[in-house]
Structure 1
Amino acid sequence: MESVIEKLKEHLNHAVIGQPDLTNELLVALIANGHVLLEGPPGIAKTTAAKALANAIDSRFQRIQFTPDLLPGDVTGSDIYQQETGQFSFVPGPIMNDIVLADEINRAPAKVQSALLEAMGERQVTVGNHSYSLPNLFFVIATQNPIEQEGTYPLPEAQLDRFMMKIHLGYPSAESELEVLRMVRQQDLHKTLTHATQALCTPADILALQQKALSLYMSESVEHYIVQLVMATRHPEHYLGEAVNGGSLIEFGASPRGTLALDRCARANALLQGRDFVTPDDVRQVALPVLRHRIITSFEAQASGLSEDELLNRLISHVPAL
């Protein structure tokens, strides 16, 4: 299993240059058996990272380009009347695959975004009076541009909570961008010689990694640390004090789903580091992508220019690991 992890790391770091945090967090979400939301400006390899991961696994992959005129049935599938038989039959939609890339998910209205809720939460889709199970390896990689850009729709809080991790992407360094420039130029020069990437592992390998991560040893002190971090997002005044007018800096804290996600991601991170036990450092390393989309900052925090990450970093620095 360690060889599978190393192969996936090497493949992703080669495909996505200068984004080591992205590649690590993508693998954490995959091994933690959750879904991931990538947010950043256009052109910084969000789609490239998703495709590179899908190519490395011998699985069924489908990309869905979200647009304002997309319908829920375009995602989940629909019942189609068959004239030959006089009956309706279910035609599966693109969501019925192992790995699904929901590209620019925030360009579709809320009705279409909500079509993913059942699929991501229950791993099934319901069309008409029938429910259809999704594959065992069902992994959604969604990308979105920053909300303030024109023509986008904010994701509902209920759907955001279905994502195990929300990964923020920034621009690469000058050195990394130079390396990207040279690599793409070489690829363009030798297009006729390139071949499809050979899969490095199978869905069964990923499912085995997911089970192994769940079996890692976690002490009671680490469990309590996870719970206390989540509790701190609900009662930040115990650690950060109160806002100027006596209110809280965080209006809504993380849900119990956040606690479960923090546990799973910490385990996956420990496995990626080659350990068979979980430490508080594993929890801290995944805390931001796991919790940043599960809290809602107050007006006072926004007026003070405090972002979700800044508030979470303050909480992490104040909550002791027992």
Structure 2
Amino acid sequence: MRLAAGALRAWRQRFDFGGRDVAAWFPGHMAKGLRQMKESLRKVDCLIEVHDARIPFSGRNPAFQEALGIRPHLLVLNKMDLADLTHKAKILERLEQEGLKNVLFTNCVKDENVKKVIPLITDLVSSSQRYQRAENVEYCIMVIGVPNVGKSSLINSMRRLHLKKGKASRVGGEPGITKAVLTRIQVSERPLMYLLDTPGVLAPRIESVETGMKLALCGAIRDHLVGEDVMADYLLYTLNKQQQFSYVERYGLGEPSDDIESVLKRVAMKLGKTHKVKVLTGTGDVNVIAPDYPAAAYELLRTFRKGELGQVLLD
């Protein structure tokens, strides 16, 4: 659902982050994961970096390139079904300007484009030095990325396609499912290829609060560290800015709104997310039904992450 561009003229042109400290959202507990990756490099022929297609330029960990960049590198932009890829050619052009020539968009839920991964990897490895691994007939590939971008989903998708086997790596809808560098997981027989799943590792310093918010919206960190209320407000700001108004019909608002409180109130009432609140009056306590704003904010975020509020490009 889209409206005329003029409808947004009087709405917010920028989002007020209120002086929030992004450092508090990203605790420095991920150095161990990066250290484990470095220790496993001698077994690795190539890196697959998985990132969210909704934020192709934001939030990728520069430490990956610094610490692991001596290996051939394929960037997989996953969850393509959730992203607005109208300007896909421009995205690829900008990434190439940043030195990323090998980029693939995927949807691991439906196995879209996943069959292209192994041919790309074999080409990359065959055209590069194998770092004292020339005698090995199998390929060993490390899968890296920030939390909750679909690393484990990619591994499982490849196993479905090439081995006709089920899950080998645990998948979850929130960050932190993969806790450590795992044992090698076979994903192909010909060529013989193994992948190493790794824990999601965020950059120790995020470049801006807005980048942090984009990562949070995509589920790269736990919601409570940022606050569901401010995330829902930033989501509303983004949807309106991109003229994605499907939330209006979905929650029965009547018209688009730039006021998060009124939107959350409507979401709560529509879905029955309410609770009783005691109100002190002159004649005693009275129980009234009030909207559950945190539950409504969580519902808005959950619906967005399922792709039910339209395809969005946050960058």
Structure holding more helix per residue: 1
Range into which the TM-score falls when normalised by the shorter chain: under 0.3
Q: What TM-score, normalized by structure 2, do the two folds share?
A: 0.25
Q: What TM-score, normalized by structure 1, do the two folds share?
A: 0.24
Task: Compare CA radii of gyration and give the structure with the larger one.
Answer: 2
